[in-house]
Each structure stands twice: as structure tokens, then as C-alpha cells.
């Protein structure tokens, strides 16, 4: 029971964090058809900006400023880089973001060194929310989850209830038609790219303090965010939320399960035969926790390529 509750809590918070990063990515993909490889770079930039700003201003203002700066970075990338290569096609856009992620990671290494920084949760937030099975549960985890949920609500309401949301959704759905109706679609693109980058930056600023802030954090999260976006359905915000939670929970639960295929076969009385086969049979679920998301992604891509909640296929 203890294992179950703790895994559930941690998995949910991790999933919510994944959602914060992947929300922007899925919106950007839905709109421009570009898989933005540099997206997690904004997550990393957010963390480093917040870390740097904390030396001068207090925690919350620096988080807000880091978010704005990351968003500004996104706008610059869209306006001065992506738009230039748009005419060469999607492959070039994707590869450009890929090159940019390379440069951002190397610049971070140049400025901050190739080692983790000591970006930490401030003392004022370093207390436990409640006790569970005799261990303290840090309030900061709950805070991260809360910020993510708040963000989901905000973006969701913005997209579904406001006029700006209607324009954005129409630009996603039929960019040419929206343009013909007199909306400035490139501006919308830039705005969404900026907001997406800002969301990733916010996630980085908040999560960087709790997890580690190092020059590899973009790379580590990069692939898993793609998994979320693909599983949830490219372009679907709700899908991203669902997929984030699934992946967060599955990887959180898998770590503690000490079973393998051998045990499954043993249940049917063929344990020794399976043991003899070795290899795949003996792999423990816990050691596969990094593999599960990719297996899930593969299955989704083959069975339902538009994702769990995606519309475009």
C-alpha cells in the first residue's frame, strides 16, 4: 500500500511535469507540422535562467522572468530561424531545430560548465506537506503538480473560450483559410511558438530546482517528450495530458516491480522452461522502466497513429 500510494503521487507529479513541457510541443506541431527538437532546450534554458536570476532577485520573480525570457527565445527562433527555412520544407525545419538544440546545449556548457549546477529549492519552500507512511512528502512536489494543473486549465480555457483561442485553433486547422479571412497567421505562429517555449521554460524553472539542472537535461527529457506527444496525439492538448499521466505513472510504478516474464510463465507452470531461455525472458520489469514508454509509443504508432486523442491522422 505504501509503495502504491507513493508511486501514485510521484508518478502523477512527474506526469504533470511532462505535460508542462510537452503542451507547447504538441501545440506547435499541430499548428506548423514541425517537430521541434529544440523544445526541451527551452526547458533547459528556463532552468538556467531561473538559476542565474536567483542570485539577484528572489525565487518567484526569477521564475516568472525566466519564463518570459524562454518565451522570448522561442519567438526569436521562430521569427529569425524557422521562418527562413520554411520554404525548404518540413525536413529542413525539423533539422534546423535539431541544430539549434545542439548549439543551445553547447552554449550552456560554455557558460555554466559541463556539470550540474547547485540550483535548489529555496529554504522557504523546503518543508513537508504531510506525512505519509512515516516519511515526509515535500510540498514542492505538490507545488509543481499544482502549477502544471493551473497551466493546463489556463491554456485550455484560453483555447476553448476566448476569441484568441478561436483564431489560434482555426490557424491550426486551416491556416490558409484563416489567412484569407484576414488573420495574421505568421503572427499567430510566432505567438504560439513563443507561448510553447515559455511553458517549457516555466517547467524548467520550476522543475530544475527539484530535479537536477545540468547541460544534459534537455537531451534526457527530449525523447520522452516526443513519446508523450505521439502517444497523446500530435496537436491535442488533452491527449498530451493523458499521455503524460500514463507515462509518468507507468515509469514510476515499473521501477518497483521486481517481476519478469519468467514469473509470468511460472504462473502457468512453465517457469523453468522460460528460465532456460534466458535473454528477454529474464528481464525484470524494473530494469525496463525506461523501455516501457518507447514500447507504448511503438504500439500507438502502429495501431492508432493519430494518438489516443488526436484527430489528424
> Which parts of this chain interact with other proteins (CB under 8 A)?
29, 33, 35, 81, 84-85, 88, 90-92, 94-96, 98-100, 102-103, 106-107, 109-111, 113, 219, 223, 226-227, 230, 234, 278-280, 283, 287-288, 290-291, 294-295, 297-298, 301-302, 305
Angstrom distance (rounded) from CA 147 to CA 60: 12
Q: Which of 243, 228, 250, 211 is nearest to 7 (CA)?
A: 250
Q: How far is the CB of 236 from other proteins (least distance, A)?
A: 15
Identify which of residues 180 and 299 has a Cβ nearer to other proteins in the complex. Answer: 299
Which residues fall within 8 angstroms of residue 287, CB to CB, at 6 or more apart? none
Q: Nearer to other proteins by C-beta: 129 or 295? A: 295
Which residue, 144 or 242, is less far from other proteins as judged by CB? 242
Q: Nearest approach, Cβ of 160 to other proteins (angstroms)?
A: 26
- Smallest Cα–Cα separation from 46: which of 80, 21, 81? 21
Which element (helix H / strand E) includes 130? strand 128-132
| Cβ neighbours of residue 195 closer than 8 Å, sequence gap 6 or more | 24, 27, 71, 74
Nearest approach in angstroms of CB 138 to other proteins is: 28
Burial pattern 134-145, b for ≥16 Cβ within 10 A else e, equals: eeebbbbbebbb
- The whole-angstrom separation of Cα 177 and Cα 62 is 40
Closest CB 302 distance from other proteins, rounded Å:
6
Specify the residue, 66 or 230, whose C-beta has the smaller distance to other proteins. 230
Instruction: Compare residues 212 and 289 and give the one whose CB is closer to other proteins.
Output: 289
Report in angstroms how near the CB of residue 283 gets to other proteins at its nearest: 5
Q: Between residues 34 and 209, which has the closer beta carbon with respect to other proteins?
A: 34
Give the residue with the Cβ less far from other proteins, 35 or 240: 35
Q: How far is the CB of 255 from other proteins (least distance, A)?
A: 13
Distance in angstroms (rounded) separating the CA atoms of residues 77 and 129: 40
Cα torsion angle, 300, 302, 304, 306, sign: positive
Question: Toward other proteins, which CB reaches closer, 197 or 224?
Answer: 224
CA distances, 14 to each of 10, 207, 210, 288 (Å): 6, 10, 11, 18
CB atoms closer than 10 angstroms to residue 118? 7
Length in residues, the chain: 313
Q: Using CA atoms, how far apart are residues 84 and 29, in angstroms rounded to an integer?
A: 18
Distance CA 284, CA 119 (A): 34
Query: What is the C-alpha to C-alpha distance for residues 193 and 25, in angstroms, rounded to an integer?
Result: 9
User: Least distance in Å: CB of 310 to other proteins?
Assistant: 11
Q: How far is the CB of 90 from other proteins (least distance, A)?
A: 8
Amino acid at each position: 500500500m505504501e509503495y502504491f500510494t507513493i508511486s501514485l503521487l510521484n508518478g502523477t507529479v512527474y506526469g504533470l511535469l511532462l505535460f508542462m513541457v510537452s503542451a507547447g510541443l504538441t501545440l506547435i506541431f499541430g499548428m506548423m507540422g514541425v517537430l521541434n527538437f529544440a523544445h526541451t532546450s527551452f526547458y533547459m534554458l528556463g532552468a538556467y535562467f531561473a538559476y542565474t536570476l536567483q542570485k539577484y532577485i528572489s525565487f518567484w520573480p526569477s521564475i516568472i522572468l525566466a519564463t518570459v525570457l524562454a518565451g522570448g527565445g522561442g519567438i526569436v527562433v521562430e521569427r529569425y530561424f524557422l521562418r527562413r527555412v520554411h520554404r525548404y520544407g518540413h525536413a529542413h525545419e525539423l533539422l534546423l531545430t535539431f541544430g539549434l538544440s545542439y548549439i543551445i546545449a553547447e552554449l550552456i556548457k560554455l557558460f555554466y560548465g559541463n556539470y550540474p549546477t547547485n540550483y535548489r529549492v529555496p529554504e522557504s519552500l523546503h518543508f513537508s506537506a504531510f506525512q505519509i507512511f512515516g516519511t515526509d512528502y515535500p510540498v514542492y512536489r505538490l507545488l509543481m503538480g499544482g502549477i502544471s494543473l493551473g497551466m493546463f486549465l489556463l491554456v485550455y480555457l484560453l483555447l476553448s473560450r476566448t476569441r484568441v483561442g478561436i483564431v489560434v485553433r482555426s490557424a491550426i486547422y486551416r491556416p490558409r483559410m484563416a489567412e484569407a479571412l484576414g488573420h495574421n497567421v505568421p503572427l499567430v505562429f510566432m505567438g504560439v511558438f513563443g507561448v510553447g517555449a515559455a511553458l517549457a521554460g516555466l517547467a524548467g524553472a520550476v522543475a530544475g530546482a527539484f530535479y537536477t539542472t545540468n547541460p544534459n537535461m534537455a537531451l534526457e527529457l527530449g525523447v520522452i517528450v516526443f513519446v508523450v506527444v505521439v502517444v497523446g496525439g500530435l496537436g491535442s492538448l488533452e491527449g498530451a495530458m493523458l499521455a503524460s499521466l500514463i507515462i509518468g505513472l507507468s515509469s514510476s510504478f515499473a521501477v518497483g516491480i521486481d517481476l519478469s516474464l519468467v514469473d509470468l510463465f511460472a504462473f502457468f507452470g512453465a517457469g523453468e522452461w522460460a528460465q532456460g531461455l534466458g535473454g528477454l525472458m529474464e528481464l525484470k520489469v524494473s530494469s525496463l522502466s525506461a523501455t516501457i514508454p518507447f514500447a507504448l509509443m511503438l504500439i500507438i504508432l502502429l495501431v492508432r497513429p493519430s494518438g489516443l486523442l488526436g484527430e489528424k491522422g
